[in-house]
Amino acid sequence: MNRTQHVHRAVPDTGPPGAVSGAVSGAVPGRAAPGGHRPWAGPAAVGLLTSAATLVLAVRSPYETGSYGVCPLLAVTGLWCPGCGGLRAVHALTQLDLAAAWGMNPLFVVGAPLLVLAWGLWLARSLGRGPSVWGRATWPAWAFLVVSVLFAVLRNVPALEPWLAPV
């Protein structure tokens, strides 16, 4: 079979009328689809942008007043949001200071490795490798939302502020 021939397989009709599945179209995981879309482009772009942002935070300290602005929720309400201290936590982690990062945002310190794992699974899946751990499951997003809201509430309880608010 030469490069111009497409492999057509019989697959059960699971989509709406007129829809073409990847198996029928001959799309190969990790390669450009017939329309030119590269499935790994999304994870690659997120990885590159995150790496660039991390590099900026490693070089330019968020401890300087006004260096990255102020959290809008904190400025308007005086309440700590789940992300408050996140930039300083990233900066501390790039300096290998886990204690300082934990003091700024413990949720980020715990969540960062999980986000890296999720990104790695996304990248592997887009390349046609690795299991579809979550498929179309929405529970990771809901779990993240619930934990973030709970963290935001707890870090604003006066008795818990010494441990959960950025110091």
Is the pLDDT reported for residue 165 higher than 80? yes
Q: Please report the pLDDT score of residue 24 as a whole number.
A: 46
Is the pLDDT reported for residue 33 higher than 60? no
- The full set of domain ranges for the chain reads 39-157
Q: Please report the pLDDT score of residue 71 as a whole number.
A: 86
Dihedral angle at the C-alpha atoms of 57, 58, 62, 64, nearest 10 degrees? -130
Rounded to 5°, angle at Cα 94 from 91 and 99 = 75
Is the pLDDT reported for residue 134 higher than 80? no
Q: Where does the pLDDT of residue 101 fall: very low under 50, low under 70, confident under 90, or very high at 90 and above?
A: very high
Q: Please report the pLDDT score of residue 21 as a whole number.
A: 45
Contact 73, 81 (CB under 8 A): yes
Q: Where does the pLDDT of residue 126 fall: very low under 50, low under 70, confident under 90, or very high at 90 and above?
A: confident
Q: Which long-range contacts (CB under 8 A, 24 or more apart) does 34-40 make?
A: 39/126, 39/127, 40/123, 40/126, 40/127
